[in-house]
Structure 1
Amino acid sequence: MNTKFSENFWNTLPELAIAKILSHLSLLDRLNASKVNKTWHAASFRGEVWHQFSFLEDSLNFELLGADYTANICNGKRLNGVLHELTVYIQNCGRHIKEMELNLKHRGSLRLFDQLVSVCHGVICFTLRVDSDILAVDSFKLNLYKFCQGNVQLEVVSVEEVDFKTRNEQLPLSLIHSNRLTQLRMVNSFCSNSLSNLMYLVNLKELALCPNSLNFSLLCHLASKSLRVLHIVANSKTKEFYQEALNDSQWREICRQGPNLRVHCHLGVNHEWTEKDIFLKPNMPVQSLIFCKILLLNYPHLTPLLCNYHNTLETFIDYSMDLGSYSIYSTEEEIQAKERFIIQLVQHSPQLRTLAVKEVISSGASLLIAYTNRHLDELFLLEERIVYANYIDDFELSEEVQSFVRSNCNQKRFSSAMSDLLGREWHPMTRPEYIETILKKYSLFF
């Protein structure tokens, strides 16, 4: 394209078109683009530019200074300049913000939050994560409560690492949010607060809590209303000790009150309770189990518990973001013992649609898994964790199945046979492909 024509094209765009372009840019890019000329500057003050406001302090610093921003002594000055520009836009356009995402790291960004609280009263989706340095400021807590009380149209709220350690204090969400709020995620947040205010949220469809925050009366009540999705989250910031929050009879009653409730467990801690019946109760309506642990799972303990979820379990993911945990050596006997339990899990989970394991597994066992459940939409197996061998000769299988496995467990025919069984193109995944796919889909809370 001719350079002069290109320049004229961008300079003559109408404000509405410019505003649409600006709305898709990051905050820093919006500020930079607003300086192109007077038309772009004027367009940057249109309300539609600011429907979505995402202030992620680490990302912003990275955009400003690159990978070495933490060591750059100019960091504070440049960030303060950006904050000043943003406060001008918030003062003029903050009332148009509908979706707000904040990740606050340093006290200098608190004046931005103060400005947002005073101006923004029409927020629908609110996401907040803060550093401990922010939590120590008394005014932040007051402003957070003020923000929630001033935004009665909130429909989606996600709060992480916000815990003021104030025992039995009421939550900032209450009766005034009951008509609109449908999704609430409180991860490692308000851990000592009273959850009684959540009783008002009768239109809540999705709730995320940490294990120690599970409350029988609350879940019974919400399940009898609109609650259909319960995320139970334990990640690296979650309180380590777990004591039984709900017993099996309580889970049975919760299911009686809300037969359509489904539980999704996101377990990113290495503690043993995540694989034992102190947590995994038979009557929990578990639909997905996502393990993100450095250690290998204890399948002899875990598989019998998971067989209780044969009517509900659709997703079982076991992965680790520490690549070292995939390098653990396994003998033939160990592989046989582990994959027997994995096969048992698949055989007792007819609803299973997604499976990922980080164990070393034989091609024979993989074929049997696909043969047993041909409805698997996603089967994630690492190429480097597959041993091309048949270790399942001692299984009680029909001659047809045994013959199929024996004929196709070699490396040359394996992927093609798996594709035939699953009814789609399938292949073992390389490590980068595996990690990228798993992280994109299943690392929401980790």
Structure 2
Amino acid sequence: MATNGYMVQSWSTLPDHIVVRILLHLDLADRYKASLVCQSWQACFQQPCMWRYFHFRFLSTVNHNTDNIFDYNQFLAKHGHHVRSVKLTLDQSEEENRHYACRVIESLATTAGRQLTAICVTFTGENPLFYAGAEFVAALKMLFGPTPPTISPPLSQIVHVDLSGLTAAYDDSVFTILADNHPNLQSLNILNRMLICKVSPSAVLHLVDKCRKLTDLMAYHCSLSDDILACFAESDRTPVEHLGIVCRREEKYNKTLTSEVWQDLVTAVPNLRVSLGFDHTCPFNRIKELMQPEIPVRELRLETFTRIFEEVNIATAYYSPTLEKIVLQTRNSDELGAALLNLARDCKLLKSMYVYCVLKKEVVEEILVSSPLLKEHKDYILKWKADPEPWVVGVEEGD
């Protein structure tokens, strides 16, 4: 239709693939409203590709987020069998958010023809006093459990689970159920920052033994054992690619994983990558013991807030062939500056360095000269003047 020499087109004339791209950038509540524009947009809203990867957000009502009052379950009942990957982000401080998020997990658990293969849960906001997330643990057990009798099997097995953002007190039972019903699991992250880790090495061993395709595991050191590393070294399984290990307060009572099993694992899986971290609660005297030379550390995090430099020298001596990233939260000293310079010179693969303290200007300049790869990637925090936080990666004073 032409008006005054100009061609006027309606929204319905937009190509379907353009409409789909637009809708994919919207939350479900806004996506639904947009689908009411015309029949063409409604048809795009119903396409299976719209539901394969979904991010559910339940955020604070003080932000006037309409997701909080939107009923997801009517759409999960109709389109839930198309969902492949789900991420849930919620402000845990409000009971309504927790309620709706659990309902989504429970709906997915009972969806006929379920194709879900990946789930990630992330809490934001303040943790309510004495809140342990029991309803999320129950919902996850339902999701990870056997096929309900009301649903005709088979359902797709879950292969990616990320619970690092779920500050809930999950225990062995969650992962025993996961292992027994989803043996094709490929990645699992359970570094959830709870004060006490209740996941035992026996439960992790059961999971590693059952899930022979597991290639990426991130867990606290207290949940690991020699038997787990030995299981990863077995020849009749998919080679493990990455282990993420964080050492905390529990290391006061724990045994160190032995050098022999580390060496056997590295021999069996020469391309293994390890991320090794120490937080401020880890007993200081245990750090050097746990930094074993046999571990192929690609990423090292020393977030102790104490004065350290010997540990940086140890990292240079042990991990120079493999180290690509280092994160330090410490206090400055002349010894630290010298240790960082040695690290920059000897670790030829180093391309990321975050140092959360103020160094001397000449130390920063020499680090960047000594590590061309670090300067090339511009993935660093190196400051010689105190800036207001947050510090920006790759940006220095005077640049």
Q: Give the alignment's TM-score, normalised by structure 2.
A: 0.75
Distance 1:370 1:42, change over 3 A: closer
Between the aligned partners of 2:291 and 2:39, the Cα distance in structure 1 is 61
Is the aligned partner of 1:81 residue 2:66?
no
Residue equivalent to 1:254: 265
Matched, 1:57 2:58: yes
1:314-352 residue CA offsets vs partner (Å, 9 max, x unmatched): 211225xxxxx8xx7x6xxx4x33211222223443332
Partner residue in 2 for 1:108: 99
Q: Structure 1 residues 373, 191: CA separation in 2 closer, same or farther (over 3 Å shift)? A: same
Q: Alpha-carbon deviations, 1:163-183, whole Å to 9, x = none?
A: 55555775232365444x332
Q: Distance in 1 between matches of 2:118 and 2:189?
A: 12
State the one-letter code of the partner of 1:264. Answer: S
Match of 2:244 in 1: 231
After superposition, give the CA deviation of every residue in 1:408-429 in whole Å (9 maximum; x if it has no partner): xxxxxxxxxxxxxxxxxxxxxx
What corresponds to 1:156 in structure 2? 160
Offset at residue 286 of structure 1 (A): 0.8
Query: Percent identity among equivalent residues?
Result: 20
Tell me which amino acid in the other structure corresponds to 1:103: T
1:240–1:304 distance in 2 versus 1, CA, 3 Å: closer
C-alpha distance in 1 between matches for 2:172 and 2:356? 40
1:200 is aligned to 210
Cα offset, 1:307, TM superposition: 1.6
CA RMSD of aligned residues (A): 3.7
Question: Which range moved further: 367-376 or 304-313?
Answer: 367-376
Please list the CA deviations of residues 359-393 of structure 1 after superposition, one character each: whole Å capped at 9, or x if unmatched. Answer: 4333333343344433434462445439xxxxxxx
User: Take 1:18 and 1:274, find their aligned partners in 2: how far apart are those partners?
Assistant: 59
The 5 Å alignment of 1:7-18 reads 8-13=9-14, 15=16, 17-18=18-19
Aligned partner of 1:318 in structure 2 is: 328
Letter of the structure 2 residue corresponding to residue 113 of structure 1: I
Match of residue 335 from structure 2: 337
Q: CA deviation at 1:117?
A: 1.6
Match of 2:85 among 99, 106, 112: 99
Deviation at 1:128, TM superposition (A): 2.4
Change (3 A) 1:28 1:268: farther
Aligned position for 2:109: 117
CA distance in 1, matches of 2:47, 2:155: 22
**What SS does the aligned partner of 2:300 have?**
strand
206, 212, 215: which one aligns with 2:225: 215
Deviations 1:221-254 (A, max 9, x none): 224441021112468xx86866234133332233
Question: Within 1, Cα distance between the matches of 2:208 and 2:62?
Answer: 42
The aligned length equals 361
Deviations 1:135-190 (A, max 9, x none): 247742542333899754433221233655555775232365444x3322222376
Equivalent residues in 2 for 1:109-188, closer than 5 Å: 109=100, 110-119=102-111, 121-129=114-122, 132=131, 134-136=133-135, 139-146=138-145, 151-160=155-164, 161=166, 166=171, 171-174=176-179, 177-179=182-184, 181-188=185-192
Give the structure 2 partner of residue 368 of structure 1: 366
User: 1:299 offset after TM fit, Å?
Assistant: 0.8
Q: Deviations over 1:48-85 (max 9, x none)?
A: 11111111322xx4xx642xx6xxxxx8xx66630x2x
CA pair 261-339 structure 1, distance change in 2 beyond 3 A: same
Amino acid at match of 2:120: T
**Amino acid paired to 2:241:** R
Output aligned runs, 1:393-432, within 5 Å. none
CA 153–50 in structure 1, closer or farther in 2 if over 3 Å, else same: same
Tell me the distance in 2 between the aligned counterparts of 1:6 and 1:91.
42
Alpha-carbon shift at residue 89 of structure 1 (Å): 1.1
How does 1:234-313 map onto structure 2 within 5 Å?
243-273=254-284, 276-292=287-303, 295-313=305-323
Report the counterpart of residue 199 of structure 2 in structure 1: 191
**Corresponding position of 1:391:** none
CA contact (8 A) 1:134 1:140 kept: no
Aligned position for 1:358: 356
Structure 2: where are the runs of 5+ without partners?
149-153
**Which structure has the larger Rg?**
1
CA distance in 2, matches of 1:29, 1:184: 32
Alignment-mate amino acid for residue 135 of structure 1 = A
Q: Give the 3 Å change call, closer, same or farther, for CA 167–382 of structure 1 in structure 2.
A: closer
Aligned to 1:413: none
SS of the residue 1:346 aligns to:
helix
Say if 2:51 and 2:83, in contact at 8 Å, map to a contact too. yes
- Give the match's secondary structure for 2:110: helix
* CA deviations over 1:83-139 (Å, ceiling 9, x no partner): x2x211111111111111123534421223222221161112221246746424774
- 8 Å CA contact 2:278–2:302 kept in 1: the answer is yes
Q: Given residue 369 of structure 1, which amino acid in structure 2 is its aligned partner? A: I
Q: Is the 2:222–2:251 Cα contact (8 Å) retained in structure 1?
A: no
Would you tell me which structure has more helix in proportion to its own residues?
A: 1
